[in-house]
Structure 1
Amino acid sequence: MCLYLCLPEEGVLRAFPTEAACRTRLAAIRWPNDISCPVCGGGVWQLKSRPVYECGSCGSQPSITAGTALANTRIPLKTWFRTAELVIEEHAVRHRDPYVAGLQRALQSEGIPLSRKAVGRMLKILLVDLAPHTTGLLKSSLSVVPEPPIPHIQPDQQLYWLMDAVHQRWRNLS
């Protein structure tokens, strides 16, 4: 539920409208100080022909998704961002685990045609990346605000406070 409160108010598709915006966000989260070569630590620059970087020292070509759960994916990052948002909303607002057929229908209604097999693989990866007490790349990329502070209340009342905050946000978006 806390992750839902950290999503962009206007929605993921408006906060990251293009593939380039998604790549920029992933790069900012993955390399917060400066983009450097994972092999030698040298300076890198982005190639114009492909969405990868090239190291000036060793010549390696790291990409933003290399070494992550999104490595070698053919699915656009914008689709990954939207699917992650749908998974978070399903869990936080409707209080149930997302399932493949429902997720596929939701994506197809938005004009994103993916096979059931592809959606199943995405869901499997997203459930691991968005799990509590982990620092997944997509989880960090979608959180545009820091975790909301929970007021000083009894531990048994914190769940009710979080649920009320989630429902209040859902009413504002509807």
Structure 2
Amino acid sequence: MCRDRLAAVRWPDGIACLRCKSHDFGFMEKRKTYHCRKCRYQFTVLTKSVLRSSKLSPQLWFEAAEEYIKWRARHGKHNYGLHAFADILGVAYPTAHRARKILESDLGPDGEGLLVRCICNDT
């Protein structure tokens, strides 16, 4: 479900190769990977995003973003405590630290990342 939302936001006009923008692609079911038939590039919905290099699942990223947004709504500019954030997400402290930094930049006022486009919209 999260991957579907990511794909819908990333490719509103249909899936396109991230390298050559071609719409001629195949899908490798076992690897959950698209492959461009024109340039042979392999990609997923997470490729070239901050979520790609993460060991956290897209579902956990959405949950972390929701928790972060709720915290900001209640506490303004005060940072979310990392130990509490780690406990809520069920991850180690360094992982929570990295996730919070990514969320701060992605969901901040100047955020232009994939998460902000998935979660925050004008409608």
Q: TM-score when scaled to structure 2?
A: 0.88
* TM-superposed deviation, 1:119: 0.9
Deviation beyond 3 Å, 4+ runs, structure 1:
none
Question: How far apart in 2 are the matches of 1:101 and 1:116?
Answer: 6
The equivalent residue for 2:94 is: 117
Aligned-partner residue type, residue 141 of structure 1: C
Given the alignment, which residue of 8, 15, 27 partners 1:46?
A: 27
Contact 2:7–2:45 at 8 Å: present in 1 too? Answer: yes
Distance 1:38 1:59 in 2: 11
The structure that is strand-richer by fraction is 2
* TM-score under structure 1 length normalisation: 0.64
Instruction: Give the SS at the match of 2:26.
Output: strand
2:60 corresponds to which residue?
A: 79
Counterpart of 1:67 in 2: which secondary structure? coil
Aligned residue identity for 2:43:
P
Structure showing greater radius of gyration is: 1
Unaligned runs of 5+ in 1: 1-20, 108-112, 148-174
1:23 CA drift (Å)? 0.5
CA distance in 1, matches of 2:50, 2:67: 18
Distance in 2 between residues matched to 1:46 and 1:124, nearest whole Å: 33
Number of positions where the alignment pairs a residue of Structure 1 with one of Structure 2: 121
Unaligned ranges ≥5, structure 2: none
Matched, 1:99 2:81: yes
Could you tell me which amino acid in structure 2 is paired with residue 67 of structure 1?
K
CA RMSD of aligned residues (A): 1.6
